[in-house]
Chains A and B, each alone.
Chain A
Amino acid sequence: MISSCRFLPRVSGLALFLFLVMPYPSLVPARAADPAEIRIGYLHLAESKQQPISLLDEPTDDDGIAGARMAVEDNNGTGRFTNQHFSIDDMRLKPSDDAAAAAKSFIDKGILLIVVDLPPGMVLTAADAGRASGATLFDAGSSDDSLREEDCRANVIHTAPTRSMLADALAQYLAWKRWQRWLLVTGSHPQDALYADALKRAAKRFGATIVEERIFKDTGGARRTDTGIVQTQRQMPVFTQNAPAYDVLVAADESNVFAGYLPYRTWDARPVAGSAGLVPTSWDPAHDSWGAVQMQNRFIKLAHRRMKAIDMQAWTAVRMIGEGATRTQSADPAKIIAYIKSPSFEVAAFKGQKLTLRDWNLQLRQPILLSDGRTVVSVSPQEGYLHQTSELDTLGYDRPETKCKLN
């Protein structure tokens, strides 16, 4: 008798009604004081209209902020027991807007903990504007290494992984596969060159050889044309022909101009990695290990779509604030930040181990997922890459190499 014995249909209508209208009635004992309020600001750009190569990658209106909202819910789940309440104030900027003014308007409202999903220049402007008032930024959106190195700030904590962390994560896996000869294809935009630099550094660190680097020039044009497929099918083999012998094509295309067209279209039968094919990322909608299924389910329930890397990076930032508030039993931003920067800080984020902060540049240490777009193929650091402090420090710039001088 295997029948579907679910609980809900068995509860009487009234009980169910009471349960739904009075969430957690018994869990909040009569308290003298209202919950301590922890307000978090969220600064991001207006929705991008730039079309991605794949229709599946279209930006959504709530990219990132949806992750922050879920973390607020999670924090409030704990807050019921600790008499703390978290909320988020969301502000959207145009690329031409003044990030300093935006940060100040949060500070004027007493909001000193601000999650930002902004380009590197705007992150710095906002950080410097907020510094005197004691505001701390959580950089959830920028993978720029310079923000953690020469341009690091004592009031910017980074939950987004850097390009060098992503590139090292990929290089470790390719080394494990012994795909050590790379054909590097780089886009023609500045951020593509930065990613290519990180990949070149990774190749050197993990013993790969770049047999040739080619630049794919962005000549503009629309992503969507009804018969675009016909041209792409001819263009990509031609672009990749006559390459020296290689094991894997590694693409640096942060601008999403061409990499998505490479798999199955290279002249030689070779796998693609980097900006397409096997992609290093902080999160993937298919990640299902270490309890991640619960996270994915909760996110879909809240946002009615699947969870992206930027959502995870924003979730982690707000959860870090939640951890700070819970552990210090305080709503004081200074105390919360002092805890996050202390050696006792750690946060769980469905990556199979605790995430901690690099004290020399305030970058969150984290395992990096390698996704093929359907499944998580592997998670770096790979076994065997040892480190005296944390194996996670085999990813990205390590303490001895850093150019960062905090304060």
Chain B
Amino acid sequence: MADVVLEIDALEAGYGEVQVLWGLSLRARRGELTAIVGANGAGKTTTLRAVAGTIAPWRGRVMFENKDVTRLPTHQKAARGFALVPEGRQLFSAMSVAENLELGAFSKRAPRSYADRLGQVFTLFPRLAERRQQRAGTLSGGEQQMVAIARGLMSDPDILVIDELSLGLAPVVVYQLLTTLKRLKDAGLTIILVEQNVHLALALSDYAYVIAEGRVFTEGVPKELAAKPEIRKAYLGL
């Protein structure tokens, strides 16, 4: 069994007075794609925000490579090898593709291998190479998602966390992106994928967590999980 890269332990968090996470625990293992699925409002994005440090966890721990990073500020997490591809892409739309990628390499880790990384990223996403000077805001949805993932990769991360890959994208585009992700995983990258579409998540992942009401509702290897009625119960209550 591969070792654990990221571990979340009894995480509690929320916004203002409203608590969203009520003790969430999960693990992402090296070289695996771990999926997090669940209905809207279940706490998927909140979990990622708490892990990234965008919101401060109220209770619980986040361990990255066996070190406690619960209170570590977001930019320092990037320096440690944690890359987040946020929901809705959140690119710098007025900047070019190349500039966005450059910003992805902003942290201390990246400069050493910058040129290499850029080359690798363009090999992975040839479409971006063609459009490197184009303003990011003018790209199609799928291309923007490519930039978002590529930007995450530019920091030479140990773990890539993607929030809602398929949102707003055409199926054929999603398929292309997922194929690329699979290649990255096979090359040894640890990936956490938060995904609305359960079937996609199960098709791609090595292990999956189903979240409901701020907690892990059920978890397991996709083949076993797909057969369980628990998944539907997590989403639909019955």
Asked whether A and B interact, the reply is no
Residues of B within 8 A of A (CB): none
Report which A residues bind B (CB closer than 8 A): none
